[in-house]
Amino acid sequence: MTLIMSNEDIEKVLTIQHCMEVLEAAFKDLAEGKAVNRPRSHTYTPVSNDNYYLGHEPGSLLGDEGVGPKYSQKVEQRKLS
């Protein structure tokens, strides 16, 4: 099942302390070969005078209860090269 959460939803349930604990464990697992990470992927698509941005940040912790990709989107003024 997919759970879609906004930044505001996450701020209501995730404290900085818990976030740091989880990040520490995740980086330890990454160093031990128990996690997978890859660079972020950004896509810029022209939409009238603005551009539509889609960010993709996949990763997973092996043995965890699931995979947690992050997708972000926003419209921003930017020239495409």
Domain ranges, ordered by start, for the chain: 7-76
Per-residue pLDDT tens over the stretch 10-69? 889 989 998 898 889 888 888 988 877 777 777 777 776 666 777 777 677 666 566 666
Q: What is the pLDDT of residue 36?
A: 78
Concatenated DSSP letters of 6-52: -HHHHHHH--HHHHHHHHHHHHHHHHTT-EEE---EEEEEEETTEEE
pLDDT of 12 reads: 92
7-76 CATH fold? Dihydrodipicolinate Reductase; domain 2 (3.30.360)
Note the pTM of the prediction, 2 decimals. Answer: 0.56
Mean pLDDT across 71-77: 66
Query: Which has the higher per-residue pLDDT, 74 or 6?
Result: 6
Tell whether the torsion through CA atoms of 16, 18, 22 and 24 is positive or negative.
positive
